[in-house]
């Protein structure tokens, strides 16, 4: 049975799962679905289109599924989806989608720190950390286990690769390659995210193979030739395949 403060407002059409805690002055709109074992501290707002999984914690001031800050939005029915076991800290905002994709998605086991913003049609994977005050623009992608530090500005349509570390205060308008560090002004490739990779259990051999792949990619030859050389000279693995696929699918180019 859920524990709901008498000072919270819950629309009769909203669906609330089992064993939830909903604090005072929360507002839960119509067309909202909240799963089991969620905690909404005081002053959390869930607006039309919120779809919440299980085991999440929402801290005071979080606003989920507000309409997009996008002039092309015309009131279409869209959603903001939050998976399981996320920590959504104070004043985080996650906007719902537009007709472009129809949904904004935050996966599972993420930490979104105070005042982070996830814009319309964004897709944040699993196991990510988004730092205080960081702003993720519309239609971006953040792959699994990426760490984006505080006060980062991510341009629309960009992608951040998995197991990446983006340094605090960085602003970028191109993709950030998997397994790397990105920082400085202007944003630049700063080597592999060695600490993060070791913490995630990457072997020394695999790290060396990833390092060799990037030595070739940044070695000065034409990109298509460099990728072919990586295929020929670096031992095949899902991690190397991921790097090649990421680069080949990049539409905005990537941070060098």
Q: Tell me the catalytic residues.
A: 120-121, 138
Read out DSSP for 173-187? Answer: SSBB-TTEEEETTTT
Tokens in use for 250?
């990049």
Tokens encoding 12: 């009769």
Which residues share a beta bridge with 147? Answer: 129, 165
Please give the Cα distance from 222 to 244 (Å, whole number).
14
7 burial class (0-12, 13-18, 19+ CB within 10 angstroms)? exposed
**CB distance 166 to 152 below 8 Å:** yes
Task: Report the phi/psi class of residue 145: left, alpha or beta, with left for phi > 0 and alpha for psi in -120 to 50.
Answer: left
Residue 199, H or E segment: helix 194-199
* 207 sits in which H/E element: helix 204-217
Instruction: Map residue 17 onto helix, strand or coil.
Output: coil
């Amino acid at each position: 049975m859920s524990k709901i403060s008498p000072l919270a407002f819950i629309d009769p059409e909203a669906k609330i799962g089992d064993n939830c805690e909903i604090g005072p002055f929360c507002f839960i709109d119509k067309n909202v679905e909240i799963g089991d074992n969620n905690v909404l501290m005081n002053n959390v707002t869930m607006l039309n289109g919120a779809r919440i999984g299980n085991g999440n914690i929402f801290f005071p001031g979080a606003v989920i599924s507000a309409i997009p800050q996008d002039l092309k939005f015309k009131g279409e029915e869209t959603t903001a989806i939050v998976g399981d076991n996320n920590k959504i800290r104070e004043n985080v905002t996650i906007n719902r989608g537009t007709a472009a994709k129809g949904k904004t998605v935050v996966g599972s086991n993420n930490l979104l720190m105070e005042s982070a913003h996830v814009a319309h049609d964004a897709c944040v994977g699993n196991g990510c950390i988004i730092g205080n005050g960081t702003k993720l623009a519309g239609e971006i992608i953040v792959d699994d286990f990426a760490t984006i530090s505080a006060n980062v500005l991510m341009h629309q349509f960009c992608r951040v690769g998995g197991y990446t570390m983006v340094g605090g205060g960085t602003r970028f308008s191109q993709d950030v390659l998997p397994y790397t560090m990105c920082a400085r002004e202007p944003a630049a490739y700063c080597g592999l995210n060695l600490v993060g990779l070791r913490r995630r259990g990457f072997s020394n051999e695999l790290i060396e193979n990833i390092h060799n792949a990037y030595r070739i990619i940044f070695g000065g030859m034409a990109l298509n030739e460099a990728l072919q050389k990586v295929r020929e000279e670096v031992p095949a693995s899902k991690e190397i395949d991921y790097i090649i696929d990421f680069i080949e699918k990049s539409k905005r180019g990537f941070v060098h």
